Amino acid sequence: FFFNAPKVLMFEQVSRTEGQNIRGFSLFLTALFISLITLNLSGLVPYTFSVSSHLAMTLTLALPMWLALLISGWVNNPAAAAAHLLPTGAPDALGPALILIETISIFLRPITLSVRLAANMGAGHIMLGLMGSYLSAGLFTYPLILKILVSLIETGYFLFEMGICLIQAYVFCLLLSLYSDEHPN
């Protein structure tokens, strides 16, 4: 179940987008999804380095995928790729401004994708570290009821953070698959 579920989830997601027409895209996105889950969850191990909370790592994942989609679209069908820069039905007077705005938003995609993953992973790991430090600092000085309460809160937050790790991997791959919608056939 644990090995098949991510594959099925990503194949279903890619089949709903234009990414299904790009050879190998669903396989690559599935491999990226499983890798991100592994990286995110391995960052939850105490006193280990969280790779996915570093902007350099997340940008290294987002930039090549985004650039591959962009270059592939412009090389295979430049007219259709250029047509995505201007929404249909837009007034002619607004054309240059809309093209500029759309171009800027397209070029900001890998940055926002990377910052979203790194910030969410980093914030969660910092909170886990602070709660763990508070728990270990009071291990011998706090009353028993407070130790139990803090331990339950820490355990609950750890489970919550595991869910966040899975969700962030899904969101990263979901946005990449949605970016493939602008890839011309």
Residue type, 52: S
For the chain, the average pLDDT equals 87
Q: Per-domain residue ranges for the chain?
A: 4-182
C-alpha span between 92 and 116 (Å, rounded) = 35
Query: Residue 178 — pLDDT band, cuts 50, 70, 90?
Result: confident
Residue 11 has what pLDDT?
77
Query: Residue 141 — pLDDT band, cuts 50, 70, 90?
Result: confident
Query: Residue 142 — pLDDT band, cuts 50, 70, 90?
Result: confident
* Pick from 67, 7, 59: nearest CA to 37: 7
Average pLDDT over residues 33-40: 92
Residue 1 has what pLDDT?
62
What are the pLDDT digits (tens) for 75-94? 988 888 888 888 888 888 88
Residue 19 has what pLDDT?
66
Q: Give one DSSP letter per residue of 138-170, joined into a string.
A: TTTTS-HHHHHHHHHHHHHHHHHHHHHHHHHHH
C-alpha span between 89 and 98 (Å, rounded) = 12
Residue 113 pLDDT more than 90?
yes
Q: pTM here?
A: 0.85
C-alpha span between 50 and 40 (Å, rounded) = 7
Residue 100 pLDDT more than 80?
yes
Torsion of CA 75, 79, 84, 87, to 10 degrees: 170
Q: How far is CA 60 from CA 30, 55, 65, 67, 165, in A?
A: 17, 8, 9, 11, 18
